[in-house]
Structure 1
């Protein structure tokens, strides 16, 4: 388990929802406890240390309280439901759930996936990747030969994992590698998927270019759930 503590004067332990190596992680659940009263970082850390977490967590001192961040949604739910009245001296406080989203996501297309192959199996085959946000088959047919199945769009929050998928293709349990290519906005022009991308881009611009009415999409924590490695067994022919 990785525990990182920082205060207002120190280094930030991680940027908002960025994926990185070792000490930093993709934040999949977070809440602010405010005001923190007598709850110090050490006391909060001791509470978290007593819980059986699946992933990493960090604590950050803010201007009014303590920000709890978790790499696993289940760990977030476990602490968010917990009361802190004893360590805050019985004084009132609030727990404010923070919507978590990656700072940036990367989308690519996977081709030649048979229509009858379930999307859940495609997603499960990505168990080596930690930042999978979405796996869905496009409903709009792109420019491709007749009879070719619609591609599957995969969105990840890690540039490294995105590049790996582009370079190696999608490894389907070692049975095959489905070809991949970057998803370009022009590919979906005029389609429902393209309209969704336009809307998200518009919301992004409104949120960061000055309009207060824009809202960024919030990714459901279920999209970040851990994908376990599959059980497997290799049988060798008996020697004659």
Structure 2
């Protein structure tokens, strides 16, 4: 992928290249919760279902063989304004799925993120969960006449005047590893939380989302 400098307003109202922007300050490691037990999953569920909107994203172990499909997601992450919760999806994660299902299928909580099409498909295929009230900010925040979807990095530059560091070295690490590094944890948590922060800022500017589409329903089983 070729890096493209993003032009964004600076404090004086002009534009500044992406490289000159101050860094985006994301979530602190102490505010990220790794969800490993049923009790931790239920606590995350309770906290997240108390919100009107949450950040949402997934990570999957990369594939390096042409034509090889991903068996992700290997990580599902959520965030509110202060905290993030990371659910590792592996051989022993079945007890966590009920909490994931309750969160993702909740009709009264918006799930916000950037480029969520593949994330939703993988959650559906691997976990049998049908996410509801999904808002893909890549398209929802796109202004008339804009040719390309808005990514997290360009949204942070546009709305906050800061640079979100998106390391390809981290994004292509092994997300299926039993133990994640601090850099992986922060990368994943920021991916979820930045969507919520952008959304709140966008609303504060006077914008509104269109009415949500009816959720997709799975057909009933054959008799």
What's the TM-score, normalizing by structure 2?
A: 0.27
Work out which structure has the larger RCO, using CA pairs closer than 8 Å and 6 or more positions apart in sequence: 2
- Point out the structure with the larger helix share: 2
- Point out the structure with the larger strand share: 1
Report which of the two structures shows the higher radius of gyration computed on alpha carbons. Answer: 1
